A and B are shown apart, each in its own frame.
Chain A
Amino acid sequence: MKILALVLTVVFVLFAITAATGICNAVPALGFDGSHHIKHAILYAVLGVLSIVWYRFQANASA
């Protein structure tokens, strides 16, 4: 689960960056349809933060 939390953190942060910068508008499956990219960036950033928190819980639980 720790690994999964870490992977999700990286993935969501990357999504947030790509959504914020608008460099991934050609991937509509991820919601990057060229509009509302700031809202998507916020969503992915929030998910990234939650994943970091989850990772921290997992790390402390196994310590």
Chain B
Amino acid sequence: MTFVQAIVLAVLQGISELFPVSSLGHTILIPALLGWHNIDRADPSFLAFVVVLHLGTAIALIVFYRDDWVKLGRALVGSIARGKLSDDVDERVAWLLVVGTVPVGILGLLFKEKVSVLFGAVAPAAIFLMINGLVMFAGDWLRRRQHAATGAAYKPIERLSYPQSVAVGFGQALALLPGISRSGASMVVGLLCGLDMASAARYSFLLATPVIFAAAALEIPELWAPGAHVVAVQAIVGAVLAGIFAYLSVAFLTKYFKNHDLRPFGWYCLLFGALCLILAKIGAIS
């Protein structure tokens, strides 16, 4: 992997991890489009580099939501120490996040590698990216229909039930499929559970933070795996860039989703996925 490739992949990771467009799908499709056949996704050094990028992204998310995490952490520890749940909003949100993290933790550990072996090629990633676009359109349409039919006000995050939080967690677990966006899927489920767009986005980013961090932390031993000769400069620059772009992305998206919905990302996923699928079918990329 060249230095330029490392920089492009780091920026791509930082942006696409938070935008609802699937980072995993893009790390398959973009190198294929650019003809980077020297990148072996199964190579220990590439896996180690990806771990570093994810750590950068996770740290950026923690920094962006640092005040929330301090409050949520205190509330969580307080409730455990008391041995009782209270009506505190932060405590409620903290436990919703814990419960919502369980599905992706289990499914990720059990199926991540099997899924990446089965679907880690250009054509499946392109197809899943198109499906991701359709899911965003469907989610947005269902939310509008549900809201128009019931006329009920959107609820804040703390009004989610625990089963609903588990459902959002299962939505997030769909991102194990390359092309399905973690944030997109969890936002759609959040919308269908009655959250407004801004709250669904915020909950999605909060829910993604421990998952991205834990997934990266569990892979840290890969950094010392045989053959994992990560170039230190590439790794450090990559992590910093991934973190900066992740921070900028989440700052942009939290503002964007106050007044906009998922449809532009749905169009992007449909069109980009279709383009990649056509190119793969005619043999232009592989």
Interface residues of A (CB under 8 A from B): 31, 36, 39-40, 42-43, 46-47, 50, 53, 56-57, 59-61
Contact = CB atoms under 8 A, between A and B. Distances in A.
Contacts, number: 27
A46 B105 CA distance: 10
A42 B85 contact: no
Main secondary structure on chain B at its contact with chain A? Answer: helix
B37 interface: no
Main secondary structure on chain A at its contact with chain B? Answer: helix
B83 A60 contact: yes
B81 to A, nearest CB: 10
A47 B106 CA distance: 9
Nearest to A57: B85
Interface residues of B, number: 11
Nearest to A55: B83
Given A39-B218, A42-B218, A47-B106, 4 more contacts: A47-B102, A53-B80, A57-B83, A61-B85
Question: B83, B85, B105, B106: which has the most chain A beta carbons within 10 Å?
Answer: B83
Contacts of A40: 109
B107 to A, nearest CB: 10
Interface of B: 80, 83-85, 98, 102, 105-106, 109-110, 218
A56 to B, nearest CB: 5
A53 B80 CA distance: 7
Nearest to B106: A43
A43 B83 contact: no
Contacts of B109: 31, 36, 39-40, 43
Contact of A56 (B83, B102, B105, B106): B83
Closest 10 CB pairs of A and B: A60-B83, A31-B110, A56-B83, A60-B84, A43-B109, A39-B218, A53-B80, A39-B109, A57-B85, A43-B105
Contacts of B106: 43, 47
